[in-house]
Chains A and B, each alone.
Chain A
Amino acid sequence: MSLFRGRRILAGAMTLVAAAAMTACGSKTTDEASATGVTADVSGDTVKVGLLNSLSGTMAISEVTVRDAIMLAVEEINSAGGVLGKKIQPVGEDGASDWPTFAEKAEKLISEDRVAAVFGCWTSASRKAVKPVFEKNKALLFYPVQYEGLEQSPYIFYTGATTNQQIVPGLDYLKAQGAKSVYLVGSDYVFPRTANKIIKAYAAANGMAVLGEDYAPLGSTEFGTIVNKVKSSGADAVFNTLNGDSNVAFFKEYKSAGLTAASMPVVSVSIAEEEVKSIGTQYLEGQLTAWNYYQTTPGAANSKFVAAYKAKYGADKPTSDPMEAAYVGVHLWKAMVEKAGAFDVEKVRSASNGITFDAPEGLVTVDGTTQHIAKTARIGKIGADGLITEVWNSGKPVAPDPYLKTYPWASGLS
Chain B
Amino acid sequence: MTVLFGQLFTGISIGAVLLLIALGLALTFGQMNVINMAHGEFIMAGAYTTYVLQQSITGAGLSLVVALPVAFVVAGTMGVLLEVLLIRRLYARPLDTLLVTWGVSLMLQQLARDVFGSPNVQTRAPELLTGNVALPGGLTIANNRLFILTLALAAVAALTLALRLTPLGRRIRAVVQNRDLAAVSGIATSRVDRTTFFLGSGLAGLAGVALTLLGPIGPTMGTNLIIDAFLVVVVGGIGQLKGSVIVAFALGVLQATGEYLTTLSVAKVIVFVAIVAFLQWRPQGLFTLRTRSLA
List B contacts of A257 (CB < 8 A).
132, 140, 142
Q: Which of B6, B13, B218 contacts A245 (CB 8 A)?
A: B218
Please give me the residue from chain A that is nearest to B267 by CB atom.
Answer: A225
Alpha-carbon separation in the docked complex, A118 to B192 (Å): 61
Alpha-carbon separation in the docked complex, A245 to B122 (Å): 10
Mark each residue of chain B from 77 to 119: 1 if its CB lies under 8 Å from any CB of chain A, else 0. Answer: 0000000000000000000000000000000000000000011
Alpha-carbon separation in the docked complex, A407 to B208 (Å): 49
Alpha-carbon separation in the docked complex, A226 to B255 (Å): 12
Given contacts A228-B7, A231-B6, A257-B140, contact A282 B120 (CB under 8 A): no
B120 touches A245 (CB 8 A): yes
List A contacts of B264 (CB < 8 A).
188, 214-217, 220, 222, 225-226
Task: Say yes or no for A253: interface residue by CB 8 A criterion.
Answer: yes
Alpha-carbon separation in the docked complex, A229 to B7 (Å): 9
Please give me the residue from chain B that is nearest to A219 by CB atom.
Answer: B224
Shortest beta-carbon contacts, A-B, top 3? A221-B215, A256-B142, A224-B10
Q: Which of B14, B143, B214 contacts A249 (CB 8 A)?
A: B214
Smallest Cβ distance from B98 to chain A, in angstroms?
A: 17
List A contacts of B144 (CB < 8 A).
252, 256
Task: Say yes or no for A248: interface residue by CB 8 A criterion.
Answer: yes
B263 touches A215 (CB 8 A): yes
Given contacts A228-B7, A248-B215, A253-B214, contact A60 B263 (CB under 8 A): no
Alpha-carbon separation in the docked complex, A216 to B268 (Å): 11
Residues of chain B at interface, number, CB under 8 A:
36
List A contacts of B278 (CB < 8 A).
none
Smallest Cβ distance from A211 to chain B, in angstroms?
A: 13
Alpha-carbon separation in the docked complex, A278 to B2 (Å): 33
Task: Say yes or no for B213: interface residue by CB 8 A criterion.
Answer: yes
- In the complex, besides A224-B10, A252-B214, 4 extra interface pairs with C-beta distance below 8 angstroms are A220-B264, A248-B120, A258-B140, A278-B120
Mark each residue of chain B from 199 to 224: 1 if its CB lies under 8 Å from any CB of chain A, else 0. Answer: 00000000000000111101000001
List A contacts of B265 (CB < 8 A).
188, 215, 217
Most buried by A among B2, B142, B218: B142
Q: Which of B6, B14, B130 contacts A255 (CB 8 A)?
A: B130
Interface pairs (16), CB distance under 8 Å? A221-B216, A221-B224, A225-B7, A225-B260, A226-B264, A228-B3, A228-B260, A245-B218, A252-B125, A252-B144, A252-B213, A256-B130, A258-B131, A258-B132, A258-B140, A282-B124
Alpha-carbon separation in the docked complex, A225 to B12 (Å): 12
A280 touches B140 (CB 8 A): no
Alpha-carbon separation in the docked complex, A188 to B134 (Å): 32
A256 touches B131 (CB 8 A): yes
Task: Say yes or no for A58: interface residue by CB 8 A criterion.
Answer: yes
- 8 Å CB interface, A257-316 against B: 257-258, 278-280, 282-283
Task: Say yes or no for B256: interface residue by CB 8 A criterion.
Answer: yes
Alpha-carbon separation in the docked complex, A257 to B6 (Å): 10
Alpha-carbon separation in the docked complex, A220 to B259 (Å): 13
- 8 Å CB interface, B134-157 against A: 134, 140, 142-145
Alpha-carbon separation in the docked complex, A60 to B6 (Å): 37
Smallest Cβ distance from A153 to chain B, in angstroms?
A: 30
Number of A-B contacts (CB under 8 A): 99
Given contacts A228-B6, A245-B218, contact A253 B142 (CB under 8 A): yes
Q: Which of A56, A253, A280 contacts B122 (CB 8 A)?
A: A280
Given contacts A225-B264, A256-B144, contact A232 B215 (CB under 8 A): no
Alpha-carbon separation in the docked complex, A280 to B256 (Å): 27
Q: Which residues of A approach B to under 8 Å, CB–CB?
A: 56-58, 60-61, 188, 214-217, 219-222, 224-226, 228-229, 231-232, 245, 248-249, 252-253, 255-258, 278-280, 282-283
Alpha-carbon separation in the docked complex, A283 to B127 (Å): 11
List B contacts of A248 (CB < 8 A).
120, 122, 215-216
List B contacts of A57 (CB < 8 A).
118
List B contacts of A228 (CB < 8 A).
3, 6-7, 10, 260
- 8 Å CB interface, B254-292 against A: 256, 259-260, 263-265, 267
List B contacts of A245 (CB < 8 A).
120, 215-216, 218
List A contacts of B263 (CB < 8 A).
214-215
Alpha-carbon separation in the docked complex, A231 to B134 (Å): 14
Alpha-carbon separation in the docked complex, A253 to B7 (Å): 13
Smallest Cβ distance from A313 to chain B, in angstroms?
A: 16
Smallest Cβ distance from B210 to chain A, in angstroms?
A: 13
Alpha-carbon separation in the docked complex, A216 to B35 (Å): 30
List B contacts of A283 (CB < 8 A).
130
Alpha-carbon separation in the docked complex, A224 to B259 (Å): 9
List B contacts of A219 (CB < 8 A).
224
Please give me the residue from chain B that is nearest to A229 by CB atom.
Answer: B260
List A contacts of B122 (CB < 8 A).
248, 278-280
Most buried by B among A214, A222, A226, A280: A222
Alpha-carbon separation in the docked complex, A42 to B125 (Å): 55
A225 touches B134 (CB 8 A): no
B10 touches A225 (CB 8 A): yes
Most buried by B among A217, A256, A258: A256
Smallest Cβ distance from B5 to chain A, in angstroms?
A: 9
List A contacts of B214 (CB < 8 A).
221-222, 249, 252-253
Smallest Cβ distance from A193 to chain B, in angstroms?
A: 12
Smallest Cβ distance from A12 to chain B, in angstroms?
A: 18
Please give me the residue from chain B that is nearest to A62 by CB atom.
Answer: B119
List A contacts of B132 (CB < 8 A).
256-258
Most buried by B among A226, A228, A229, A257: A228
Q: Which of B6, B120, B216 contacts A232 (CB 8 A)?
A: B6
B215 touches A252 (CB 8 A): yes
Alpha-carbon separation in the docked complex, A253 to B144 (Å): 9
A258 touches B218 (CB 8 A): no
A249 touches B215 (CB 8 A): yes
B13 touches A232 (CB 8 A): no
Given contacts A61-B119, A256-B143, A258-B132, contact A224 B14 (CB under 8 A): yes
List A contacts of B224 (CB < 8 A).
219, 221
Smallest Cβ distance from B40 to chain A, in angstroms?
A: 14
Alpha-carbon separation in the docked complex, A221 to B10 (Å): 13
Alpha-carbon separation in the docked complex, A289 to B283 (Å): 51
Alpha-carbon separation in the docked complex, A253 to B256 (Å): 15
List B contacts of A282 (CB < 8 A).
124-125, 130
Alpha-carbon separation in the docked complex, A256 to B119 (Å): 24
